[in-house]
Structure 1
Amino acid sequence: MWTIRVVSAALLTLGLAAGPAAADSTPSASPSGDSAAPTSAGTSFRTATEIDQGRTATANASAGDYLYWSFPADTGQRPTVEATVKLPREHAAQTWQIDVYDGLRRRQACQYGAQTRTAAAGAESVELACVLRTVRAWSEPWADDPLPGTYYLRLTAVGVRTADLGQPVAAEVRVESKEIGGSAAVDGRLAEPLVPGVAVARQGDEDGSRAPAVLSGVEPDGGWSSGRWSDRWVWTVSGAVLAALAGIGGYALTRGSGRPPHVPPNA
């Protein structure tokens, strides 16, 4: 009977630990519809149009243009970038490509997805996708791991004939992330997310105070969470509790009743 109680307590503890973990694995909600989605794109890193995750941005451009957007990605997220380009009615074969760069303008490799695709002559549209690696809270200086901060999306045609240059195209881009949770947690964190200008100081008030000049206003809903606790801690504590309960249960099963063995009266 006592063993059943130990097992029940262990299962209850495991269930309580799994609750926060399941909540963390749910993708973040889309931003509220208070602000309209962007309808234009930048032409360089400095003029990249800021977009929120979960919102579709559009832009009208010409074949051969470089289109730039920026978006925030936080610790534990695995961003997926999708782009659709609507092509003119008549055109030759075109190759389109999306590239993603982090806050240090390091090109980030795609885990999988059609990062480059060729649209056949006369095709109505071309669709591209790039699934990035999971964003880490900290990394070695020499590593190329994705880190929390601003990310840049560049969309362009890399193979366009001269006759098709300048033809009108319409682009749609969307960024969504999957919350990976504690399985991607690491020991350590960045002092600041990789947001352009976050470490640049500007002259403040007349008293000489200085404040950070942030050149990018994009950030996740609820702010940056780099370095906060994750469900990794929940599972660690749960494992320790389960190990303690298992030890107590094993001791209770093996120690016996604690009374001396029965001795026959005529012995």
Structure 2
Amino acid sequence: MTKLSVNINKIATLRNARGGNVPDVVKVALDCESFGADGITVHPRPDERHIRRSDVYDLRPLLRTEFNIEGYPSPEFVDLVLKVKPHQVTLVPDDPSQITSNSGWDTKANQEFLTEVLDQFNSAGIRTSVFVAADPEMVEYAAKAGADRVELYTEPYATDYPKNPEAAIAPFIEAAKTARKLGIGLNAGHDLSLVNLNYFYKNIPWVDEVSIGHALISDALYLGLERTIQEYKNCLRS
């Protein structure tokens, strides 16, 4: 069954907007687990505008499900991940000034760099995932660099889905088939929502994990966090 990892960056954004510790990032993460989430994702950025390094250290010993840390593999990020040792690290090609991730890696052009970074994490026993566009060649070179999984960048799918679902999903099916053929795992994330998640899952049922934050937390403002997580889990059933 495809796992649901909840990205709690938006909870940290809300906390940081006011100062103090409301909402409590750790408590929300633990609540997500108790409400059925299969994992927790965080994306600490250098300016700590949402998740802070201290949050990462606070979360690690308390989480009971899978912990996924995503980010650009700067020396500081690599050091943090090696110290915390989450279950999974997801490498994204973010510039520090970006509001959010908006592209996948060019794994062919960056193969040497990615290979060096992935070797460090693989040697530490941390499962590795590389954020890529729905391009079979990018999937192939991620595998060559030593990634255990790829995470497909799904914003283009979410954007095109309302106009033509079949056309929107087509390149993702091809990329997913490439990952399966190469024997690496498959994750997906970015702008997946209650509107488009089930269609994605039905067409690519072998996806290992979806990581969802913005849409899920936004839905929780209306539905409540427990019901929202259950609604997303329902989308991951045939």
Band of TM-score, shorter chain: under 0.3
Larger Rg: 1
Q: Kindly indicate whether structure 1 or structure 2 has the higher relative contact order, using CA contacts under 8 Å at least 6 residues apart.
A: 1
Between Structure 1 and Structure 2, the one with more strand by share is 1
Between Structure 1 and Structure 2, the one with more helix by share is 2
